[in-house]
Amino acid sequence: MARSNNWKRGEPRVVEESSLQKAVREFVQTVDGLYGYYLDCTLGFSVFAERLSQTIKVAGSHVFIGSGNPNKPTSRVKHQTTIGELLGRNVKGGQNYARAGQLLVVLVFVFWESGFRGRIAGNLGLESEDLIVPAMGDIRLLRNDVIHNRSVIRSRTTKRLEVFRVPGLKAGRDLSLSEADAERLVRAIKAAMDELVVSAGEPDPQHRTILRLHEGPPRQA
């Protein structure tokens, strides 16, 4: 790690961020952004479902979503469903929750494989394919089931998972992460990135600590 050349006696030394630390931090920030998107979505689903259940009571009523004045022939219907279906997919554990979790898995892997893996590997003196991170390997397996098996978890996937083993991941069922599962997933990724930095002989960045409480003098009530 490089140190600032402008240090003066009596001033705290400023330790510059290494290229490895920077690459890992930016990947973690990307994961944080995707996790925030997931949380925004699931919160929106639950609020919408609650409001819908309070205002409309007839589950079989049809809902049309479109553009333009519905009384004019130029209007277009973009989507058609029923109140029951709309409510069912937005309640906690519904289809929209499942899709949000699946999208989180797919996007995390895309960002990792399309850039960050090679960049971090280069800082460790490795080729991209030589950087093996078990947590990201689990993400790859789950992503493959989403893309290539219509989101149904295969038995070979459950047998090969090394880090991300949770009760909800069962062969033959759709990949549907609970909110707790999504948090475990993000924490596992951050812990793996911390381990990479530490194994390279650099200080633990503690990215796995999702919420950091900054200590300070006690406040007056």
Alpha-carbon distance 127 to 121, whole Å? 6
In which domain, by residue range, is 42 found? 19-199
Q: Are 122 and 129 in contact (CB under 8 A)?
A: no
Q: What is the pLDDT of residue 71?
A: 85
Q: Stretch 58-82: mean pLDDT, rounded?
A: 85
| Residue 218 belongs to a domain | no
Alpha-carbon distance 27 to 114, whole Å? 11
For the chain, how many structural domains are there in total?
1
| Residue 28 belongs to a domain | yes
Alpha-carbon distance 151 to 10, whole Å? 59
| Residue 108 belongs to a domain | yes
Q: Does 12 have pLDDT greater than 60?
A: no
| Residue 205 belongs to a domain | no
Taking the model in full, what pTM does it have? 0.85
| pLDDT, tens digit, 9 for 90 and up, residues 77-121 | 899 988 889 999 999 999 999 999 999 999 999 999 999 999 999
Q: Does 16 have pLDDT greater than 70?
A: yes
| Residue 78 belongs to a domain | yes
Q: Are 23 and 31 in contact (CB under 8 A)?
A: no
Q: What is the pLDDT of residue 129?
A: 96
| pLDDT, tens digit, 9 for 90 and up, residues 117-161 | 999 999 999 999 999 999 999 999 999 999 999 999 999 999 999
| Residue 61 belongs to a domain | yes
| Residue 217 belongs to a domain | no
| Residue 178 belongs to a domain | yes
The band of 70, judged by pLDDT with boundaries at 50, 70 and 90, is confident
